[in-house]
Amino acid sequence: MEVLRTARLRLRWFRQSDAAFVRGLLNEPAWIEHIYDAQVRTDEQAAAWIRERLEARYWLLGFGFWAVERLEDGELLGLAGVIQREGLPYPDIGYGFPARFWGHGYAREAASATFDYCRQVLGMRHLMGTTAPENHPSGRVLVAIGMTDEGEQQTEAHEGLSRVYTWHDPIERSDAEEIAALRLRWRAALTGPARAALTACLTPETVDRVMASRTDLSPQALDHLAQRWAALADDPTLRAVRTPAGWRLDVPADR
């Protein structure tokens, strides 16, 4: 499923057929040094990592780490996106590219597009980025896209010190404005332009019901869910609920 496009790139959901690329990326020396060793050594392990760490989050959160493809020829270049890490108060923008694709501006282009998507499509008001203290190139990318360097800190998400970058929306909005913006995002997700963000509009309880016993995490399954709910795109009776992640819509269990 396509998430967004830039001048040179397409960001989409990872799929099982990307396993060989993901295995290679997770075993890049820079990935292991600056991020972590996922202990993924085979294509079968990479396929499981994609399903458990990537595909599940697309459904549970409505966002995650996405595959970065070059529009010119469809070559898979790397990974970029946003996740909610345990131990961090706000969603965290991240990216990773094999060394052979460094120096072309792909990381900055993908990270900048992700930053815009987080604010405009997902409605996020606060964002973070974290790097290893010595990973200065990644830090420069985060500053370049509009984040503030908060220095080295100990976070609950990482064992050692991290360099932390943040962004906070300076514009205060009323609850009514937040809910109105949520309903616009909900409509965009149901009618097509922002389909990948569908579950980011929903309360955790609604997502739990959707995910109960679900085994199909494909884009086609999300399309089917959106078609089932199409009549709710402009339904003013859907209840908006304040959650730790912001305002979300509660879809009744019988829908």
Residue 66 has a CB neighbour count (10 Å cut-off) of 27
Residue 35's pLDDT is what?
Answer: 85
d(CA 189, CA 197): 6
Q: How many domains does the chain have?
A: 2
Task: Identify whether 255 is part of a domain.
Answer: no
User: Has residue 224 been placed in a domain?
Assistant: yes
Query: What's the CA gap between 219 and 224, in Å, rounded?
Result: 9
As given in the structure block, the two tokens for residue 121 are: 């499509």
Q: Indicate the residue among 114, 143, 168 that finishes a domain.
A: 168
What CATH number is attached to the domain comprising 23? Answer: 3.40.630.30
Mapped onto helix, strand or coil, the DSSP state of residue 163 is strand
Which domain does 194 fall in, by range? Answer: 177-250
Among 111, 146, 168, residue at a domain's last position: 168
pLDDT (tens digit per residue) in 57-75: 999 999 999 999 999 999 9
- Residue 50: inside a domain, yes or no? yes
Within a domain: 128: yes
pTM of the model: 0.94
Biggest CA pair distance of the chain? 52
Note whether 7 and 72 are same-domain residues: yes
pLDDT one-digit tens code per residue, 145-187: 999 999 999 998 888 899 999 999 999 999 999 999 999 999 9
Do 137 and 38 share a domain, yes or no? Answer: yes
